[in-house]
Amino acid sequence: MKQILVSGVLGLFLSLIGTPLLIRLLASRGYGQMIRDDGPKAHHSKRGTPTMGGIAFILATIVAYAATKLITGDKPSISGVLVLFLTAGLGLVGFLDDYIKIVKQRSLGLRAKAKMAGQLIVGIAFAVLALNFHDSRNQTPASTKLSFTTDFGWSIGPVIFVVWALFMILAMSNGVNLTDGLDGLATGACVMAFAAYTVIGVWQYGQWCGAPVSANGACYEVRDPLDLAVVAAALMGACFGFLWWNTSPAKIFMGDTGSLALGGALAGLAILSRTELLLAVLGGLFVLITMSVIIQVGSFRLTGKRVFRMAPLQHHFELKGWSEVLVVVRFWIIQGMCMALGLGVFYAAWVAAS
């Protein structure tokens, strides 16, 4: 458990001191946020705020993980490295998107096809690699079975698994991206989700099939549960440190660099911890906000009418007169309830299996 404490503290410290350094660097180069004219008018005052802040917590997470391994003398696991690869890879795609927005002064950044291609390349590489690297128990980081709190049902095969993993990665990375519209909203929500995966990793390690199990034989068939908890703790700490500077009024935005990376990290943790469908509960706020966009677009195309004043959902409440801080805090409460419900379901499933 020492590894989890060290990685979380290092992630927090590195992000807390690294973010203001990044703010100064970005501000000196004029790398400020573009604000779309069709957004809430209150957001126009944010024009020019440094963006691409995701660089800070991505680097903090990677360095915290590597330093933890050096300090504790423990070897990195392929599962931990794969989650970091997915996080950094999608962060790179987001960085290119943010950079184009700033340099070319084009608010939409990368062309849709180019952005999708980048996400697909990273996602496919992650999914394929996750089905390799067998350990001494012949376990690979990922499983070709679907999972909720553990694997269930028949194997869907490697090809369908890659498609399923891609869907999860695209859905969650874009879900966090849609949530990142108000100061601190996505960052705070991700802190809670990563906290949940830290708890899940610790619990799975305590009931791991690779160690002596209880008399009834119940255990979790996950390859590297403790190391997944180490990565989740580093991500949680790094997001906490970034939130100090990202909360209202934000001194820096995470940009697509950060939102795509965090969404990818959540999807990677869910896939490798065998809690794929549970992620929809643990990350309930991201699902809710994504659904608001789907409903808005679908309703407008079918009926010509809008369900919400504006989508994503957080902007609907802004236009109803809620202050930005009020929306953020109430949405954090929703995410907190989703996290609690998800952990409750996870534990209840263990009790039922035992």
**Residue found by looking up tokens 């909360």 in the block:** 247
Count CA atoms closer than 13 A to 231's CA, side-chain side: 31
* DSSP letters spanning 272-289: HTT-TTTHHHHTHHHHHH
Q: Are 264 and 89 in contact (CB under 8 A)?
A: yes
216 labeled part of a ligand binding site: no
**Who contacts 304 (Cβ-Cβ below 8 Å, separation ≥6)?**
none
Quote the CA–CA distance of 336 and 53 in Å, as a whole number: 24
Quote the CA–CA distance of 17 and 25 in Å, as a whole number: 13
Three-state SS at 155: strand
37 labeled part of a ligand binding site: no
Q: Is 37 exposed, middle or buried (0-12, 13-18, 19+ CB in 10 A)?
A: exposed
CB atoms within 10 A of CB 217: 9
Helix segments in the chain, DSSP class H? 2-28, 54-72, 78-103, 112-130, 157-179, 185-206, 225-246, 255-272, 279-282, 284-303, 313-319, 324-353
Q: Is 42 exposed, middle or buried (0-12, 13-18, 19+ CB in 10 A)?
A: exposed
Q: Are 135 and 225 in contact (CB under 8 A)?
A: no
Q: Are 130 and 82 in contact (CB under 8 A)?
A: yes
Q: Which residues are annotated as a binding site for Mg(2+)?
A: 177, 256
Q: Which residues are annotated as a binding site?
A: 177, 256
